[in-house]
Amino acid sequence: MRSILRATLLIAVVLLVPILPLLFLGLSFEDRVIGWFEQELPDGVRFALIVAVLAADLFLPIPSSMVSTYGGGILGTWPAMVASWLGMTLGAAAGFGLARVFGNRFAVRYARAGDLQQMAALSRKFGPLALVLTRALPILAEACVLLVGATRLSWRRFLIPTLAGNFVVSLTYAACGEYFEGKDALPLAVMLSGIAPLGIAVIARRWLNP
């Protein structure tokens, strides 16, 4: 019975996480993010908005997978992939660089101590490859970036797996966005692109618990 209750609670958390920002921020934040892309704007402006929004992912509750998927629907796969890749990489590089300069104090400000401990264990096992393994996982991706920054991993060893992981993630979400836009199912794809990574992240966090 206890295992059933825990599984039910996990499912509830996964479903609630996309809703909680709406409750705390007054139905506005994610609507505002998506609303920026729904305006009648030149594609160049939309491209720049995607880059800017994803670059701020470490500091704001940005649904990055949803933004990348929606970008694929409005810009097409390749422009959206490039915008997502640039934005995700700029955000990760900013977090890594700041954690590298300010150390653990900065890392614990933007990530839970438990997540950092889990990422430390993952990094000991896989090295910089941990950056690739966590790129698509909300919370854990940011924690991994901050952890390797705080431990002063070299820029070269950080950038190579981060660029590769961001490329795969960005291409996947952007392609899904364009595909489902052609099927008139973009809203569903955007919603699932937000929920599915959260579910995987919850499972991964449980698996990584010692």
> Which DSSP string corresponds to 127-186?
TTHHHHHHTTSTTHHHHHHHHHHHTT--HHHHHHHHHHHHHHHHHHHHHHHHHHHHTT-H
Instruction: Give the lowest-confidence range in 32-46, 66-80, 147-161.
Output: 32-46
Q: Is residue 61 predicted with pLDDT exceeding 90?
A: no
**By mean pLDDT, which of 20-29, 89-98, 182-191 is the weakest?**
20-29
Task: Please give the C-alpha separations between residue 181 and each of 12, 42, 68, 74, 169, in angstroms, as whole numbers.
Answer: 28, 19, 13, 8, 18
The rounded distance, in Å, linking the Cα atoms of 102 and 149 is 9
User: Is the CB of residue 62 less than 8 Å from the CB of residue 53?
Assistant: yes
User: Does position 185 have pLDDT exceeding 70, yes or no?
Assistant: yes
Residue 24 φ/ψ, nearest 5 degrees: -80, -30
pLDDT for res 177:
94
- The percent helix, strand, coil of the chain (3-state, each to 5) is 80, 0, 20
The single residue listed with the structure tokens 């909680």 is 20
In the chain, % of residues over pLDDT 70: 80
Between CA 180 and CA 29 the distance in angstroms is 24
What is the rounded average pLDDT of the residues 86-103? 94
Q: In the Cβ-directed half-sphere of 54, how many Cα atoms lie within 13 Å?
A: 31
**CA nearest 126: which of 34, 204, 60?**
204
* pLDDT tier at 24, thresholds 50, 70, 90: very low
pLDDT tens readout for residues 32-59: 555 555 566 788 988 998 999 999 888 8
Q: Residue 152 contacts by C-beta under 8 Å, 6 or more apart in sequence?
A: 100
> For position 38, what pLDDT does the model report?
59
Mean pLDDT of the chain: 81
pLDDT the model gives residue 198: 76
Instruction: Count CA atoms within 13 Å of residue 42 on its CB side.
Output: 3
What does the pLDDT look like over 101-144, one tens digit per residue?
A: 998 888 888 888 888 888 888 888 888 899 999 998 888 899 99
